[in-house]
């Protein structure tokens, strides 16, 4: 059982304004919404272990523990850092969530790896290439509202992503890096 270090002081004990503490620290001291593992139902444990909180998609662990497929694709949203810098993290989260919904709407077996990175399984190179190319076209055309740092709602006129396909994650990652390099040289 975890026991708190008696000499460690909580932010509240240190008179820290919790509104200025990053969300990760805030989450750790939010005893109302955070459950101990021993208090979780089996379904809550499964969700906590295998589902991305940000997107609701299965996560990397679920991918690793799932059935292998003939082909995998890795994708990475372009310009997420710039969007976060310009509009704030909520805008970036909106983009990542929009992308996740798009992948699912096209019938892809998609997993949220981390940040703006996603993995998809497929039975053929062609299947993944066609569906991810469709996703690129749709995301480029899709406008979505975001709340800017100044509180104003702004419409972002589409976004883009790169993807790579291989028979293994390593091959897909190499292909993704190659695609990103090709984009930089254009």
Please, are residues 120 and 73 in contact by the beta-carbon 8 Å criterion? yes
Residue 24 pLDDT level (bands cut at 50, 70, 90): very low
Please, are residues 76 and 176 in contact by the beta-carbon 8 Å criterion? yes
The C-alpha atoms of residue 146 and residue 89 are separated, in whole angstroms, by 10
Please, are residues 125 and 171 in contact by the beta-carbon 8 Å criterion? no
The C-alpha atoms of residue 142 and residue 148 are separated, in whole angstroms, by 18
Digit-coded pLDDT (tens) for 140-180: 999 988 887 888 888 988 999 999 999 999 999 999 999 99
Please, are residues 115 and 74 in contact by the beta-carbon 8 Å criterion? no
Structure tokens at 70: 């003939």
Q: Which domains does the chain have, with CATH numbers?
A: 9-39 (no CATH), 53-185 (3.30.70.270)
Structure tokens at 64: 């690793």
The C-alpha atoms of residue 85 and residue 42 are separated, in whole angstroms, by 39
pTM for this predicted structure: 0.75
Digit-coded pLDDT (tens) for 57-110: 999 999 999 999 999 999 999 999 999 998 889 889 999 999 999 999 999 999
* Beta carbons within 10 angstroms of residue 91's beta carbon: 22
CA angle 150/141/109 to nearest 5° reads: 100
List C-alpha distances in Å: 161 to 13, 71, 123, 126, 183. 45, 19, 22, 18, 10
């Amino acid at each position: 059982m975890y026991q708190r270090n008696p000499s460690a002081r909580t932010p509240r004990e240190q008179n820290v304004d919790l509104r200025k503490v990053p969300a990760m620290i805030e989450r750790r001291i939010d005893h109302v919404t955070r459950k101990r593992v021993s208090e979780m139902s089996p379904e809550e444990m499964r969700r906590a272990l295998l589902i991305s909180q940000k997107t609701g998609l299965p996560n990397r662990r679920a991918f690793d523990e799932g059935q292998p497929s003939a082909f995998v694709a890795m994708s990475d949203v372009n310009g997420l850092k710039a969007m976060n810098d310009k509009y704030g993290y909520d805008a970036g989260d909106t983009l990542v969530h929009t992308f996740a919904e798009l992948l699912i709407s096209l019938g892809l077996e998609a997993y949220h790896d981390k940040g703006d990175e996603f993995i998809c399984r497929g039975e053929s190179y062609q299947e993944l290439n066609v569906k991810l190319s469709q996703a690129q076209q749709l995301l480029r055309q899709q406008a979505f509202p975001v709340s800017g740092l100044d509180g104003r709602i702004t419409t972002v006129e589409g976004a883009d992503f790169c993807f790579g396909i291989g028979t293994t994650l390593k091959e897909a990652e190499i292909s993704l890096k190659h695609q990103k390099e090709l984009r930089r040289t254009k």
